Structure 1
Amino acid sequence: MRGVALNSDWTEAMTKNSAKKRAARDYQAAHPGTTFPAALRAIESPATAADYIAAPASAETEHFTEPRRLADNRLREQRAQRARSSKQVAPINALVDKIGVEQSVTNMPLIDPTFGGINATVLFVLKAPEADANPNLSGPRLLSLDNDDDTAQDMFRLTAETGLDRSSITAWNVCPFPAEGKNPTAAEVKRSARYHSELFSLLPHLQVIVLFGDDAKRHWKHVPYPGSARVLDCHLPSRWNRPGKDGVPRDRDSWVGIQSTLAEAAKLVDG
């Protein structure tokens, strides 16, 4: 039995080492000229917000007029490269890389560089990575309003309708690594407390936190948030509540609740 335990420990260590090397190579690709040892140090010790002079998201040249733009794999690759080099999201994505290494998870979804990142005043909190970024993609994954799925399309339109500019938003998960079951457990959320603490240290301008869905709302009490941002909650857009072909929401109260919550977030930020 002891030999089995040792073998299990060795396998786990090798898996983490392999994930760390992959993350370091990704970092090198996004930061030409970086040596491999320097890349390893960078993913092991994510920079703080104070180490970056954040460029405004409005400086990007893209125009966000239609949802599902990341169905274009070439654009997805470009966004993924920018995710580790754009100053406003690079510190958060360094934390994402660190979580991937420590939790032995490959292809963690990165924060889209069109989000506000460390400049964000609004934080969207969802359930867990595989709930909001397609785990079956062979290429890079992004946590984005432009993903090629129905929920991202809903969020794209709802934020536009309620006046929430994506440059004011960043997104996260109450369990920042894939949950072992369908839904994250309290133990998994508690285990991720230090990751949440690191994230909050990177968000000095936060004014509003929006919890989407029952899991985010239920487990928020286990998240060590030290600030004074207003915390709101609503359902997540889904096939159970979104409008059908006739334009009528399947669950009107739920859908209107999402609209009202995002409108309130926009008002709190503007006010």
Structure 2
Amino acid sequence: MLEETMARRMCEEAFRMEQERGRYAPHVRPINEMVDALREQDGRGWMPHVAPWHGGVEARVLSILRDPGPKTQEGVGSGFLCVENDDPTAELQALIFEGAGIAPCDVTPWNAYPWYINRSPKAAELQAGVEALNQLLELMPKTEVVLLQGNEAQDVWRRLLKTHPAVIGDRTLQVVSTYHPGRQALFVRDPEERARRAQHRMDSYQSVGDVLRGSGRQP
């Protein structure tokens, strides 16, 4: 793998081709084969693979957002979920993860609704996302932290715990909830509230890093 995290590296052909070549590398093969099976399921459409830049089944952190953005699309973007995608949300994640001492290989990115819709998912769609998330967690036995970014991510997690409590089993998972890393999360008039939300995101990422380093501080 390439070694340094630099925002928006999917713009670089060499980096993007490296991700293409590693699409079915051992650490991401189970997840991306699951994605293959879920694509077009029940007519839901396409979903991106997880970039091998990330930890895949070896990851200690599962990061959940709302839905795949345009820059995850094949042709338009990279075809992958990746913090190195060419968009502001991915860029912010890459920079804050790096600042918190969280390596790309520590994390597997996912979405509350993993199929591409580029809008807020409806309740029935979130329930479909629960089933996909349940399958994903079964493939990730080393997960220690679940980072829920935004309302939809927190909603799908509550739904999962209600309908599939056995997926947690004997695991001790630390759940960290914060605001979505997209710009819309800061679309509030009060500048103090904007600053508070931005700081909450920073603190939450730092808490995830603390868990990985063993101190386990919650925001």
Contact in 1 for aligned 2:9/2:85 (Cα 8 Å): yes
- 5+ long unaligned stretches in structure 2: 215-219
Whose radius of gyration is greater, 1 or 2?
1
Residue 8 of structure 1: aligned partner? none
- Answering whether residue 158 of structure 2 is matched by residue 158 of structure 1, we say no
The letter for the 2-side match of 1:199 is L
Residue 33 of structure 1: aligned partner? none
Residue 235 of structure 1: aligned partner? 179
Identity %: 24
- Answering whether residue 133 of structure 2 is matched by residue 193 of structure 1, we say no
The letter for the 2-side match of 1:233 is S
**Alignment of structure 1 residues 82-231 onto 2, 5 Å:** 82-84=22-24, 86-104=25-43, 108-129=47-68, 131=69, 133-135=71-73, 137-138=75-76, 140-179=78-117, 182-223=119-160, 224=164, 226-227=167-168, 228-231=172-175
Normalised by the length of structure 1, the TM-score is 0.67
- Answering whether residue 15 of structure 2 is matched by residue 75 of structure 1, we say yes
The letter for the 2-side match of 1:124 is S
Distance (Å, rounded) in 2 between the aligned partners of 1:221 and 1:94 = 26
Query: Are residues 64 and 107 of structure 1, via their aligned partners in 2, closer, same or farther at CA, if it must alter by over 3 Å?
Result: farther
Contact in 1 for aligned 2:85/2:91 (Cα 8 Å): yes
Normalised by the length of structure 2, the TM-score is 0.82
Query: Are residues 92 and 132 of structure 1, via their aligned partners in 2, closer, same or farther at CA, if it must alter by over 3 Å?
Result: farther
Contact in 1 for aligned 2:77/2:86 (Cα 8 Å): no
Contact in 1 for aligned 2:71/2:77 (Cα 8 Å): no
Q: How many residues align?
A: 203
- Answering whether residue 205 of structure 2 is matched by residue 270 of structure 1, we say no
Aligned residues: CA RMSD = 2.5
- 5+ long unaligned stretches in structure 1: 1-59, 243-247
